[in-house]
A and B are shown apart, each in its own frame.
Chain A
Amino acid sequence: MHNQARLEFTSLPANVAFARVAVAAFASQLDFTLNDLEEIKVAVSEAVANAVIHAYENRPEGIVIVEMVITDEILEIRVEDRGKGIANVKKALEPSYSTDPERMGLGFVFMQSFMDSLHVESSVGKGTIVTMSKKVGSGKNWQNAH
């Protein structure tokens, strides 16, 4: 099975909900459990929120692109912005890394925990591409691991 879809929207906080619901609806073509779909929603929410808050620093004129591809039993999600970029990706991926005291530095932690793979590519001044994937029945159960 192969299917793909693409969303392109302005960097408004209200569009974070739109993105996660759209991706979850697309993902539900596969046999994901309800828990899996909830996890996908959180991961998408964090990735798109990062684009809105950090990449575009809450400026509403930015463009966020979300691409999703289903290949057999794997969902791949790509969240792209053309914002300010991340200077140190390795550091940004560390738990509790946050540039804002009101945020918990958990965005990437949730993406890593809830998806099977996470890849972040960023270039200062050019933007960031977050690619993550999840396989049906991958059985990633962090609750048992903690």
Chain B
Amino acid sequence: MENLVQIALQNVNMAAILPSLVLTCFGMGLLLINVFLPRGTTRHAVWISVIGLVVTGFFVYTGWGNPQYGFNDAVANDNYTAFFSVIFLFAAGLTILMSDDYLTREGYPVSEYYPLILFATAGAMWMASGTDMLTIFLGLEVMSIALYVLAGFFRGQLRSNEAGLKYFLLGAFSTGFLLYGIALIYGVTGSTKLTEIGIYLNAHGSLLENPMTLAGLVLLSTGFLFKIAAAPFHMWTPDVYEGAPTPVTAFMSAGPKAAAFAAFLRIMEYCFFSLKPEWTAMLWVIAVLTMVIGNVIAIQQTNLKRMLAYSSIAHAGYALVGLVAANEIGYSGILFYMLAYTFMNIGAFAVLVLAGKKGEDNLTLEGFSGFGLKRPFLGVAMTVFLFSLMGLPPTAGFAGKFYIFAGAVKAGYIWLAVIGVLNSAVSLYYYLRIMVYMYFRDAEEDYAWVSLPAAAVISIVIALIGVFYLGIIPGDVMEMAKMAIF
């Protein structure tokens, strides 16, 4: 007992959790401020949140290149954490900027929305920084609980309720898998620390000799693949993405997905590096399945949110290709891709947010007829984001896919890269269809309800800059991504 206390006290290192700590403080502060202001005032929350994100970003920035470990090796604030934190912060920031007018339009000007996003972001950061199964699990729960609430945020809307409930039930179910996996791994190795697990597994023979490791690994993977929205654990995605408030969907598709990738990648590399041939074979199948299912079903969709949900599944598949490659380019490609995806996908959702009427029944292909011509700025922005999602140069999506597939080819998975590229070709169909409707159909409406609030425009412009920056000069960020991986 005495020993434990000593260990606990010695390993306190606030620098290891500084960014997420700051963010949490902002979240809690904002929560308190909210209750003391009259109902329906939300504008202050936007700016306080953004300031909070920027301040957090500053601490993330100062932590770059200066890794900090603490709490008995349960947390690592290294470059890897920092890179992912930037992704989460951008995801949260872009989401928050587009939300304010949207919430008012939909009749829920409730300021709790913003602290919830901050908490989810903090949870995501813990997931990325966790080097202990339990820290990761803690982060996952903090993030997920906030997201359950956010998904069902429009409590008067049936669809939103359904989304929240489904996400909660299935999320809890998947958490069960994850926790069980952690328990089994603990049973085998006697530790929850990633490095210790890795050392133990490396020293003690092959996987197949011990069904418990195998089961643990599979259950653990199920938990994370659920959050990533990889097939066949993707079923929740379309329903939840469609029903949740659009900015929340945007956030969920970028931030938490990246967080799950962060934790999954770290666990795979720290704990199971000795079993690489085995789990890459498993993920190969998952990656292919995910890409195919995402892209193929997306073709049939006419609701744009649902289409982007399937597209999001497909993109998870592309990113998984980098995990299968399991080399430097593949891993850093995932980091790059997640950042790129954050910009392009949230950008696309931001356009949807602005284009929607109250209730968002018009967010269909038909409802977008002639949109590009009537609303040139949003039309051009949407075109850029779609090009990026397709993976055409000179956009971020192209560079991201290029790195990921290059990693796969380098690792010898030529067929996987070919399947990936073929899938990108299939994806052209449904992305281009949006553009066809936007530009080549006669407008039936004048889109007079579409306004351009400054905050949302800032969000779109940042996303545009990000898409082009990563697309035209991907080298710098890719270098950083290479420095960020282990």
| A, B assembled together | no
